[in-house]
Amino acid sequence: MTDTALLVHQDTGEVLASSLTLQQVPADTLAEAQRAAVALQEVIRRKAKPVIFNGEQYLEFEDWQTLGRFYGVTAKVDVVDPVTFDHVGGFCASAVAILADGRVISRALAYCTNDEANWRGRPRFQLASMAQTRACVKALRNVLSWVVVLAGYKGTPAEEIEPQRRVEGAGLISKAQQQRFFAVAKAQGWTTPALKDWLQGYGYTTSSQIPVGEYDRLIKALEVPEGPADGDAA
């Protein structure tokens, strides 16, 4: 590794780009990263439910944590606070990526708010938890995304993509489950227009788009009556 003194701007404290030098032979850097990428691929290949959209695979927080361990990097939450924007509420979290000796090498800020289709109506603790997860994975992404891309995956964490995109490849409910969905809605007094609007609030235009993992939660939400029915929910 090259021992070099960095040139620092006397007013801002920023490292000047002209002072940057190679810290390792590029071929050696890439060789190490390639070994990490291959090991990561072996782990990801065994995932039962990968997050795939348009043929591209996105890694989840646990996958980024695995890669971080290869390099002795972990993430921890600094701060999490409730936030309000107009009529939107949620949480903001700050997290850092650190080395084993405690040195901070990356910092990130992330939000989770109740105007997101997938988080509307969720308990506050779930929004707070997701804000922390997003902040941690972004902190890891700042320093490790180049290795993830080298391994053939998208550099954007799965937690940051739109809920509708995460549905693809996750497995959708069956025809029988769709029929039960409408039966429950009808029994609770939901009208067809109201049910369609309600589904759109969760990011789905039809019941056929509901992923298996969301089915039970939506059924429970449906059991809160919408009001007197003006027509069928079929």
Q: Rg of the chain's alpha carbons, rounded to an integer?
A: 23
Q: How far is CA 61 from the centre of its chain?
A: 7
**What stretch of H or E contains 34?**
helix 26-45
Residues 7, 10, 11, CA angle at the centre, nearest 5°? 135
| Predicted confidence (pLDDT) per residue in 180-219, tens digit | 999 998 888 888 888 888 887 776 778 887 877 778 888 8
- The span from the CA of 138 to the CA of 133, in Å, is 9
Which residues are bridge partners to 79 per DSSP?
Answer: 94
Question: Could you tell me the sign of the dihedral formed by the alpha carbons of 195, 197, 203, 204, in that order?
Answer: positive
DSSP structural state of residue 189: T
Which residues are bridge partners to 93 per DSSP?
Answer: 80, 110
- Kindly list the structural domains of the chain, giving each domain's residue range(s) and its CATH number in brackets, ordered by start: 25-162 (3.30.390), 175-222 (no CATH)
**What stretch of H or E contains 133?**
helix 124-150
| Predicted confidence (pLDDT) per residue in 39-85, tens digit | 999 999 988 888 877 678 899 999 999 999 999 999 999 999 999 98
**C-alpha distances out from residue 97 to 29, 63, 92, 160, Å:** 20, 15, 17, 18
For the chain, what is the mean pLDDT?
Answer: 83
